[in-house]
Amino acid sequence: MATAVFDEAFQWYSEQWAPDLPLGEWWDRLATAGWSFPKWPEGYGGRGLSTGDAREAERARVAVGAYGPPKGIATFLVAPTLMSYGTPEQLDRFMPGIVRGTDIWCQLFSEPGAGSDLAGLATGAVLDGDEWIINGQKVWNSGAQHAKFGILMARSDPEQPKHKGISYFMIDMDQPGVDVRPLREMTGDIAFNEVFLSDARVSDANRLGEQGEGWRIGMTTLSHERDPDNAGSGSGFVFGGSDLGGTVSDYVAAVGGHVDGFALAMSGGANRLLDGVIDEFNAAADPVRRQRLMQLHTLRKVARWSTERSMAAVKAGGQPGPEVSTLKVIGAEISRRTRDLGIEAMGPNGMLSGNGTPTGRQFYAYCMFTPAMSIAGGSDEINRNIIGERVLGLPREPGEAEQRSQPWSALPRN
């Protein structure tokens, strides 16, 4: 049944949408009208709508067949964090480029010696007048080779305990002190990078939040990364740049021609692929596989229920809480079960990759990406710790309390 929001959005899309529009012009129209991300505030690509009304707006867009807004690290992680902690000046500077797709962002959190123990990060930030000098190394930075800006956690006070001496910055990636080195993963893609920072500079005006508040802000970023209802995720998720002068149809064809396991995982497209594989190979006729299908179906229902609980917590507290770690763990388990069931159903075909194989290589790409679901955004082990300690109230790891009270400079490091 149509609602007032659906009718308004449907009329707007019907009048404004055309596949031969330049991509940049289309994204500008969406942002100006507030249909880019309807849940976001007015003036920043949104209309301040409720979750339900935002879904009605999305339903109208799909009904018209219009292409959606830009999706990437900028919309997925940067924007929601910026809207929580940014000053009006920072919002006015950075949000227009995010919602219009002109500025690509990356995330500079993990380090070779600080992955699961992110609070142990060693990249240093030293204040020099009204600028910070940054030195250190980051790794697993998705899309850093394309990024104009990066969100960066760095240690601004090594004499504070490790969780309290971190500050959060928005750094310009296009400067001599930033060296981005791409890494090729087993999918064949180059999505990740390592980034070396050598006397790189960032203005104090681009520090997000107060000095030493970086850990809390970083956890906000990660809570949005684990939130399945994040408005900035979804289909069309890309890390690279876009030809804003080309037509939308050309861009859609280019993006669609690249089989991306990450995009399939983020958009829920893997569910559709599995359904097709099950039908093609009549896998439901086997009682064992039928049982596994029902187990997967039950997990999906649990995930939907957990999502509703998480959304209720967001409404109460304004941003995702530790409960989203439950969704992250369930999502990783669903991914593994989806992969295993699909490969089993295809039999020998599950070993093949190519355009002539089942699903045209898409399921293969998803399978190669699946291990990342248990690592990215916090490993399963870390998320289980969060659930135990911050949701269930269980005791922390032995010795952690002592570490939290000691200066970071005095802690042992490998």
In the predicted model, is pLDDT for residue 10 greater than 70? yes
Is 111 marked active-site?
Answer: no
Q: Tell me, what CATH number does 373's domain have?
A: 1.20.140.10
- The torsion region of residue 129 among left (phi > 0), alpha (psi -120 to 50) and beta comes to left
Same-domain pairing of 51 and 179:
no
Domain limits for position 265: 259-391
Q: Are 180 and 195 in contact (CB under 8 A)?
A: yes
pLDDT per residue as tens digits for the range 241-289: 788 999 999 988 887 656 667 667 666 678 888 999 999 999 999 999 9
pLDDT per residue as tens digits for the range 89-121: 999 999 999 999 999 999 999 999 988 789 999
Residue 26 lies in a domain: yes
Same-domain pairing of 97 and 175:
yes
Same-domain pairing of 375 and 318:
yes
Structure tokens given for 277: 């594989």
In the predicted model, is pLDDT for residue 22 greater than 90? yes
Residue 180 main-chain phi, psi, to 5 deg: -100, 125
Same-domain pairing of 112 and 33:
no
Same-domain pairing of 112 and 46:
no
Same-domain pairing of 347 and 379:
yes
Full 3-state SS string of 216-250 = HHHHHHHHHHCCCCCCCCCCCECCCCCCCCCEHHH
Q: How far is CA 238 from CA 101, 109, 260, 331, in A?
A: 11, 19, 9, 20
Same-domain pairing of 169 and 302:
no
pLDDT per residue as tens digits for the range 377-393: 788 998 899 889 888 99
In the predicted model, is pLDDT for residue 317 greater than 60? no
Specify the pairing of strand 105-108 against strand 149-155: parallel
pLDDT confidence bin for 165, thresholds 50/70/90: very high
Amino acid sitting at position 350: G
Residue 359 lies in a domain: yes
Hunting for tokens 């993006």 — which residue is that?
Answer: 255
Q: Are 394 and 388 in contact (CB under 8 A)?
A: yes
For 92, the enclosing helix (H) or strand (E) is helix 88-99
Same-domain pairing of 20 and 52:
yes
Entry pTM: 0.85
| Radius of gyration in angstroms for the set of CA atoms belonging to the chain, rounded to a whole number | 22
Same-domain pairing of 109 and 173:
yes
Closest CA to 109 of 217, 183, 7: 217
Residue 233 lies in a domain: no
Structure tokens given for 166: 């971190």
Residue 251 lies in a domain: no
DSSP secondary structure code for residue 57 in this structure: H
Same-domain pairing of 61 and 117:
no
Q: Tell me, what CATH number does 111's domain have?
A: 2.40.110.10
pLDDT per residue as tens digits for the range 24-45: 999 999 999 999 999 999 999 9
Query: Is the model more confident about 370 or about 225?
Result: 370
In the predicted model, is pLDDT for residue 320 greater than 80? no
pLDDT per residue as tens digits for the range 112-154: 998 878 999 999 999 999 999 999 999 999 899 999 999 999 9
Hunting for tokens 């991914």 — which residue is that?
Answer: 335
Chain centroid to CA 46: how far?
A: 19
* Burial track 147-173 (b if 16+ CB lie within 10 A, e otherwise): bebbbbbbbbbeebbbbbbbbbbbbbb
Same-domain pairing of 35 and 111:
no
Q: Across-strand partners of 128?
A: 131
- The torsion region of residue 138 among left (phi > 0), alpha (psi -120 to 50) and beta comes to beta
Same-domain pairing of 291 and 381:
yes
Sequence-ordered list of residues with C-beta below 8 angstroms from that of 308, at least 6 positions apart, any chain: none
Closest CA to 265 of 344, 328, 313: 328
Residue 249 lies in a domain: no
Residue 235 lies in a domain: no
Determine whether 265 is exposed, middle or buried from the number of CB atoms within 10 Å of its CB (0-12, 13-18, 19+).
buried
Q: Which listed residue (56, 58, 225, 323) is catalytic?
A: 225
Average pLDDT in the chain: 88
Residue 184 lies in a domain: yes
Amino acid sitting at position 111: E
Residue 6 lies in a domain: no
Distance CA 141, CA 118 (A): 14
Specify the pairing of strand 124-128 against strand 131-139: antiparallel
pLDDT confidence bin for 396, thresholds 50/70/90: confident
Helix (H, G, I), strand (E, B) or coil at 168: strand
Closest CA to 137 of 78, 66, 196: 196
Total domains, the chain: 3
Sequence-ordered list of residues with C-beta below 8 angstroms from that of 4, at least 6 positions apart, any chain: none
Helix (H, G, I), strand (E, B) or coil at 113: coil
